[in-house]
Amino acid sequence: MSQTMTIARHGLPRRGGTAWADGALAGLSDALRAEWTKLRTLPGTGWILAAICVLTVSVGAATEAATRCGAGTRCAIDPTKVSLTGIQPGQAVVAVMAVLVISGEYSTGMIRTTFTAMPRRWMVLAAKATVLTGLVLPAAVVAVAGSLAAGRLILSGNGITAAHSFAVVSLAYGPTVRAATGSVLYLALVGLLSLGIATIVRDSAAATGAVLGMLYVPPVIALFLGTERTWQHWVERYAPTNAGMAILTTTGVHKLIISPWAGLGVLAAWAAAALLVAGALLRLRDA
């Protein structure tokens, strides 16, 4: 209920009181304001953003602490990728946040109020996507920066250093910078893809299961396919997380089945497709 009140206070009077053109741009601006207010005033939002950072950095740090390479043995360790292991659980929190942004409204019936106030439903979706991205991006920046800083500290303590010819985590190292920016974008894209799927599925629990299944199942399928090249390459190239995760790699990039940026492109294509289908379904379906 408090959400409805907030919109009434912030959204509507302003619209009546000023000489806003009644165009699409103004509509989008109002939609953005409304969605921002909704998300901002939910008690869980701050916690979720904190969880993205804490989970990503702490799982990364734990993995780094467990990463060792015995003297005299050759280890295929990619320090930047190890540092960013926390992205794996972190993306689940991003996905959950995206699900909550839309499914929360469906489960409380709030969605009807929203659509009454904003009859252009695609605009609601666009606004939700923008606000979600606006919140995920800074959280991802903090999470990724924290993970890399922890990686630099802990891994060098474990002897994973340049002296032992490892490609250490460093902003002077091009691939690390690529992995860092790429993983921030990766998290944002996972959010958008999840938002699209959640809009399609609507029920919150089912959407959470669907989104997380999509994130985590294909990597294991690819593993079990082993040397069955055609199938494995297909999964590695076209599954959203498999392809998207290519961006984390900084050593042996030539051995990847899909190049880092192309992989992120595949994930972006998935996100765009999910949002398009979601937008179309919003128009077609009953609220």
Partner 1 sequence: MTATITPYRPTQQAGRDGFTQLLHAEWTKFRTLRGWVIAVLIAALLIDVVGLLVPRGDQHCGTACLSGVPTGPGGEAVNDTYYLAAQPLAGDGSITVRVTSLTGVTDHTGGFISPASGPQNPVRRGLVPWAKAGIIITGSTRPGSAYAAMMVTGSHGVRMQYDYTGDIAGLPGSVSAASPRWLRLTRSGDVITGYDSADGTHWTEVGTARLAGLTGTVRAGMFATSPLNFVPNLPSYAESGGGLNASGATGTFDHVDLRGGAPGGRWAGQQVGSVNGPQPPPGIGFRQAGGRFTVTGSGDIGPVIAAGVNSSYVTGTFADHLLGVFIGMLIMIVIAAMFITVEYRRGLIATTLAASPRRGRLLAAKAVVIGLLTFLLGTAAVALAAIVGSRISRDSGTYVLPVGWLTEARVILGTGAMLAVASVLALSIGTALRRSVAAVAAVIVAIVLPYILGVSGVLPASASEWILRVTPAAGFAIEQSVPQYQQVVGHYAPPDYFPLAPWSGFAVLCAYAALALGLAAYLLRRRDAGGAA
Residues that bind partner 1 (CB under 8 A): 62-63, 66-69, 73-77, 81-82, 85, 88-89, 92-93, 95-96, 99-100, 103-104, 107, 204-205, 208-209, 212-213, 216-217, 219-228, 231-232, 245, 255
Least distance between partner 1 and beta carbon 16 (Å): 35
Two structure tokens written together for 159: 């002897």
Least distance between partner 1 and beta carbon 55 (Å): 8
> In angstroms, rounded to a whole number, what is the distance separating the alpha carbons of residues 123 and 12?
17
Least distance between partner 1 and beta carbon 203 (Å): 9
Residue pair 179/248 in contact by the 8 Å Cβ criterion: yes
Least distance between partner 1 and beta carbon 224 (Å): 5
Q: Please identify, using beta-carbon distances, which residue of 118 and 167 lies nearer to partner 1.
A: 167
Q: How many residues does the chain have?
A: 287
Least distance between partner 1 and beta carbon 257 (Å): 12
Q: Please identify, using beta-carbon distances, which residue of 125 and 210 lies nearer to partner 1.
A: 210
Q: Please identify, using beta-carbon distances, which residue of 16 and 109 lies nearer to partner 1.
A: 109
Q: How far apart, in Å, are the Cα atoms of 193 and each of 14, 206, 269? A: 33, 15, 9
Q: Please identify, using beta-carbon distances, which residue of 118 and 193 lies nearer to partner 1.
A: 193
Buried residues in 80-104 as b, exposed as e (16+ CB within 10 A): bbbbbbbbbbbbbbbbbbbbbbbbb
Least distance between partner 1 and beta carbon 61 (Å): 11
Q: How far apart, in Å, are the Cα atoms of 89 and each of 41, 69, 96, 270? A: 25, 24, 11, 20
Q: Please identify, using beta-carbon distances, which residue of 14 and 161 lies nearer to partner 1.
A: 161
Q: Please identify, using beta-carbon distances, which residue of 49 and 123 lies nearer to partner 1.
A: 49
**CA proximity to 215, closest of 100, 97, 91, 132:** 91
Q: Please identify, using beta-carbon distances, which residue of 206 and 262 lies nearer to partner 1.
A: 206
Least distance between partner 1 and beta carbon 77 (Å): 6
CA Rg value for the chain: 21
Q: Provide DSSP, 133-199.
A: HHHHHHHHHHHHHHHHHHHHHHHHHTT-SGGGT-----TTSHHHHHHHHHHHHHHHHHHHHHHHHHH
> In angstroms, rounded to a whole number, what is the distance separating the alpha carbons of residues 119 and 37?
18
Question: Residue with structure tokens 């904003």?
Answer: 118
